[in-house]
């Protein structure tokens, strides 16, 4: 595998999940694979889990790791072709991407949606800019439209906790005071499309995700109906896609409660706002899988880096 940009780069999800679980059982088994190789992690946005788990994965594989908070410490980048750079941007992506590739063998990038201009976000100018202007492998640590490392960790967590041949999995929107991107939900939907599951998305009117991504999925605007007999409930806020980036609804009735969850397992990518998105009783109880999801981020990054390193050899 050259790059890991989206869940579409997973050629066989169940095999990857099994390989990641084997790495979890023996994390240092391939420590020689990354010897002499360097990964550079570039963060245009904040992180806890992605930053630490990707570093840990790289270290487990014997790689050297460099981390840069590009968003606050790097030069403001220009992406346009032929732009007269006499305004706020100081460095063009053409030079920046090539310069980064002088220092490392793999680059991982986090650059969220700005939620101001849908076309611009969907163009993925940071991720695609680096992919276009450097020849080294790129890992997506959450871009404007996708968070494929999270979705793969979610697939591992589902596999570890599922005992049914066709579980019912519900992706439920939850309220949030800020406008959040669609990346986590998009990648979760795409990952679920690769699973044998009864999958339902529930969100208020006005919050349907990109119809290109949810094509073929069941969308139910009645949350109570959607949650019936669920085995897993994945909760996430996202801003409106049709009225792009807007917060149209903060109805606290959409918050996940222990009563609504029933016997299902609870999933969330974290960070999560307690008693806005989900009540304490769930996070503090034994139906929550959120810490295991976070733990599985290491083995997700590790399987991705292992496949990239094997391709570099």
Nearest distance from residue 141's CB to ligand CP, in Å? 8
The Cα 241–Cα 88 span in angstroms is 29
Toward ligand CP, which CB reaches closer, 3 or 147?
Answer: 147
48 near ligand CP (CB under 6 A): yes
Nearest distance from residue 271's CB to ligand CP, in Å? 6
Among the listed residues 50, 140, 239, 302, the single contact to ligand CP using CB under 6 A: 50
Considering only residues 115 to 144 of the shown chain, the ones binding ligand CP according to CB under 6 A are 142
Label residues 104-113 b or e (16+ Cβ within 10 Å = b).
bbbbbbbbbb
Tell me the residue nearest to ligand CP as measured from the CB: 50
Reduced to 3 DSSP states, what percent helix, strand and coil does the chain have, rounded to the nearest 5? 40, 15, 45
Query: In residues, how long is the chain?
Result: 313
Q: Two tokens at 296?
A: 């599985």
Q: Two tokens at 81?
A: 């072709």
The Cα 174–Cα 122 span in angstroms is 23
13 near ligand CP (CB under 6 A): no
CA distances from 168 to 10, 34, 197, 229, 304 (A): 23, 39, 6, 7, 27
Nearest distance from residue 46's CB to ligand CP, in Å? 7
Nearest distance from residue 296's CB to ligand CP, in Å? 11
Among the listed residues 9, 33, 38, 47, the single contact to ligand CP using CB under 6 A: 47
270 near ligand CP (CB under 6 A): yes
The Cα 260–Cα 51 span in angstroms is 33
Binding mask 54-93 for ligand CP (x = CB under 6 A): ----------------------------------------
C-beta separation of 179 from 118 below 8 A: no
- Please report, as ranges, the residues that interact with ligand CP according to CB under 6 A: 47-50, 142, 150, 269-271
């Amino acid at each position: 595998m050259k790059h890991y940009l989206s869940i579409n780069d997973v050629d066989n999800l169940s095999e990857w999940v099994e390989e990641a679980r084997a790495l979890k059982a023996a994390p240092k088994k391939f420590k020689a694979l990354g010897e002499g190789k360097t990964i550079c992690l570039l963060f245009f946005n904040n992180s806890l889990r992605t930053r630490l788990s990707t570093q840990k994965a790289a270290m487990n594989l014997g790689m050297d790791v460099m981390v840069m908070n590009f968003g606050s410490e790097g030069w403001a980048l220009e992406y346009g072709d032929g732009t007269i750079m006499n305004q706020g941007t100081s460095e063009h992506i053409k030079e920046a991407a090539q310069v980064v590739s002088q220092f490392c063998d793999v680059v991982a990038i986090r650059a969220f949606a700005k939620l101001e201009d849908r076309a611009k976000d969907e163009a993925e100018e940071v991720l695609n800019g680096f992919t276009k202007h450097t020849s080294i492998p790129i890992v997506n640590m959450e871009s404007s439209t996708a968070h494929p490392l999270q979705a793969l960790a979610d697939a591992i967590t589902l596999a570890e906790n599922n005992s049914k041949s066709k579980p019912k999995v519900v992706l439920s929107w939850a309220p949030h005071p800020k406008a959040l991107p669609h990346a986590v939900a998009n990648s979760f939907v795409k990952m679920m499309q690769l699973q044998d599951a009864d999958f339902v998305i529930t969100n208020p009117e006005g919050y349907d995700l990109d119809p290109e991504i949810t094509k073929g999925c069941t969308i139910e605007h009645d949350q109570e109906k959607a949650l019936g007999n669920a085995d897993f409930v994945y909760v996430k806020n996202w801003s409106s896609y049709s009225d792009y980036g807007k917060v149209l609804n903060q109805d606290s009735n959409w918050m996940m409660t222990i009563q609504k969850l029933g016997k299902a397992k609870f999933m969330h990518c974290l960070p999560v706002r307690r008693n806005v998105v989900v009540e304490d009783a769930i996070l503090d109880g034994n139906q929550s899988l959120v810490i295991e999801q976070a733990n599985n981020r290491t083995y997700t990054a590790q399987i991705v880096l292992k496949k990239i390193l094997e391709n570099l050899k």
